[in-house]
Amino acid sequence: MIFRMFARSFALLAFFFIILSPLFCADVELDVLLKETGARLEWNPLLQTGTMVSKVSQVVFSVGAPYLVVNGVQKICVEPVRRNGRRLVFPEPTAREIRQIFDEFSQPPRLFRVAAIVIDPGHGGRDSGASYVHNIGGKQVRVSEKDIVLTIAKKLQAMLVERYKDKVVLLTRDKDVYIPLEDRPYVANTIPAKPDEAIIYISLHANAS
């Protein structure tokens, strides 16, 4: 008795699966897909190759080929496009992949807000950087890179603070101290930033001349 009920239930499920499966796996005709994606078709009858082109992306397919080429660089494996008489048809999984491609590239680019600017004057302390003796006003003056970039960094900071009052503008050092190279990004990395915010890191250096 139980076996018969199970067999009937299984047969009923199989029947509905057979009836409904075409609805979920039906082929999509080319005209429908072009309308859905807003693309136009460039067709090469000799190679049996089509290019679906929009303002932001293009997808190349060939009849019988199990792949798509996206924007000339990315190759995606799919169920092949085929002919149904004189019409081109796309398996639903392939059509879905193409829809996703055009939808992804049609989204506006993500814009980042600059939350902070970090200025890093190179060298400092015992590390003088490039050094050279210049004749200034008839006197021999030794000029070190660490001093030049610190002066420039302070002036740049003042300019940026004045120009961008809503931004955080910081220096990795504001005096003649030595900061190890691996510690310099610490200031930038400790600034709280949202997912859509960026931090600009400016490293200043100068040559001996």
> Considering the domain 113-204, what is its CATH architecture?
3-Layer(aba) Sandwich (3.40)
Domain with CATH 3.30.457.10 in the chain: 25-106
Q: Specify burial of residue 95 (Cβ count, 10 A radius: 0-12, 13-18, 19+).
A: buried
Identify the CATH number of the domain defined by range 25-106.
Answer: 3.30.457.10
| 90 and 30 Cβ atoms separated by less than 8 Å | yes
What is the reported pLDDT for 187? 87
Does pTM top 0.75 for this prediction?
A: no
Give CATH 3.40.630.40 domain extents, the chain. 113-204
Write the DSSP symbol of residue 81: B
- One pLDDT digit (tens) per residue for the chain, 209 residues: 554 544 455 455 544 444 444 444 579 999 999 999 999 999 999 999 999 999 889 999 999 999 999 998 899 999 999 999 889 999 999 999 999 999 887 777 667 889 999 999 999 999 999 988 888 888 998 889 999 999 999 999 999 999 999 999 999 999 999 999 889 998 888 998 888 889 999 999 998 77
